[in-house]
Homo-oligomer: A and B are copies of this chain.
Amino acid sequence: MAYRSTDALAPLVVRLRAVVHLTDKEAEIIRALPFTVREVKAGWEIVREGDRPSQSCLILDGVSCRFKIVGDGGRQIVSVHIPGDLPDLQSFHLKTMDHNLATLTPSRIGLIPHSAIHHLMMSSPRMANILAREGLIDGSIFREWICNIGRRPALTRVAHFLCEIFVRYRLIGANDGMTIPFAFTQTELADAQGTSTVHINRVLKVLKTDGMISIAGKALTVHDWEKLQETGDFDARYLHLSEAEAAAV
């Protein structure tokens, strides 16, 4: 159930530091945010299209995604979120949800009241700035996603996606060498890439056969990072990492 634990917001601080410099004092302010934690299972719908949430959600553990259902019943996943992400920060400004947010794996999520976010943004222009940046990076990732689906063939698209989540996991230090958590089903990958499960299967097979990656259990290992990046037409600049982090990619 809901409880409060010490420094549970650490993933957020780590995540923000990948993109912006935070002083110790600023980090302290963030860690002091009020929140409640919930443990939820896979497939839990955190917020639904049409909802008007009064809190925003922080992923503490697990993977979530935002998605919409189109007219013929198809699902399009528009983003995936890992620990440290604030996938519905926007609901603070845009009151009505225009999409759904759900967990893909069993997860721990932190719920931060909008009032606290309001307070944080008012506390200093810099904090407001940092949160605004988060939302805009979100937008940048959407733009890249549009390019992926619109103009890159499925193999490239999937490779690009793998590169992105690999970098994002590494940013939060959730990698084990070249291995990252990877619990996506092929159906989920298909819904994210705007393709079919069968084709995802075909494309993954190529990436494995060509020695770029392997998937075992719920983990992905990258064996040839150079080749994967090249295959995926991947350039991390759209993630707007801090210079230090960018250098590490």
- Interface positions of A (Cβ within 8 A of B): 66, 68, 70-72, 74-76, 78-79, 90, 93-94, 96, 98-99, 122, 125, 128-129, 132-133, 135-140, 142-147, 149-152, 156, 193-194, 233, 237-238, 240
Contacts and interface: CB of A to CB of B under 8 A. Distances in A.
A139 B146 CA distance: 12
Contacts of A96: 237, 240
Chain A interface SS verdict (over half): helix
A240 B94 contact: yes
A103 to B, nearest CB: 19
A94 B150 contact: no
19 contacts: A68-B144, A70-B151, A70-B152, A72-B233, A76-B147, A78-B143, A78-B147, A94-B240, A96-B237, A98-B144, A99-B143, A122-B125, A128-B128, A132-B135, A138-B139, A142-B143, A146-B149, A149-B150, A151-B194
Contacts of A136: 90, 93-94, 135
Nearest to A118: B125
Nearest to A99: B143
